[in-house]
Amino acid sequence: MQKVAFLGLGLMGSRMAARLLMAGVKLTAWNRGAERAAALRDRGATIAASPREAVWDADVIVSMVADDEASRSVWTGENGALAGARSDAVAVECSTLSPAWVLQLAERAAVAGLGFADAPVTGSKPQAEAGELLFLVGGDREVVERARPVLQPMSREIVHVGPVGSGARMKLVNNFMSGVQAAALAEALAFVEACGLEAGAAMSVLMNGAPGSPLVKTVGARMMGRDYDVNFLLTLMRKDIAYAIDEAQRHGVTLRTAAAARELYDAAIADGRGGADFAAIAESVPGKPASHDRRR
């Protein structure tokens, strides 16, 4: 049984780590806020005081944090994971990050003697809780296979999409499209309400017709019920869209739809909705009619 260090116990990471414990993995965990680690300690995890302490005896190190800045903090510096990891360990970065930072991190891991894979996930809170995440993995095949037994208890599928950085790029493609769909749906709902159409009937048409992707169905239900309990933070969706715009630009592609969607997410953040689920973008469409019960 491999020893696993898990770094970052937020909305996703806490549920992913719990799946590893359920699978009988010997787990050491770290989180910036110690209170989130208490539940895992009660289920058998060892809780470390720093990333460096967490990884000292780990075969596989998994990180799940918010952004590039958080990832740098976890991996680098005197108390970072790279300073304490064994030279034969495998580092798996599951966060949604800029490919530029992922490639830098891979180089630093190589200098430290570690294998490295970027393995961001698709799915949100329910999928993490059920162990049904889709891992998009970039890295050498041998490293991916060493990490696979650790990823399996958290996943419905593990897709090796190419060399290091490929997982990060594929995740940004996925999330920019998801963010654009949610923004379009928010504007469609505002359009429906402004026209005086019955919102429930209109949403049924959208959900069950050609536009009815899985995202439109799930996010549309949240918008209709004004249920903005967090499955995926609005601020993180905005961050992912920004990373996607920058990475596409590096490759000569201009994501105009993503840029337009980012403006709507910025408006929602300015309205104080950044800490809500990204479905709350529906409340910040310019010209949106005054609130009323959509469920009538």
Rounded Cα distance between 295 and 52, Å, is 51
| 26 is a catalytic site residue | no
Q: Given 3, 171, 217, 239, which residue is catalytic?
A: 171
Helix-helix angle 68-75:99-111, to 10 degrees = 10
Q: Which of 55, 161, 168 is nearest to 113 (CA)?
A: 55
At residue 67, φ and ψ (nearest 5 deg) are: -160, -175
Rounded Cα distance between 235 and 96, Å, is 13
Rounded to 5°, the CA angle 242-244-249 comes to 100
Residue 215 near residue 179, CB atoms below 8 Å: no
Structure-token match 């806490």, residue found? 14
Rounded Cα distance between 273 and 275, Å, is 6
Annotated catalytic sites, by residue?
A: 171
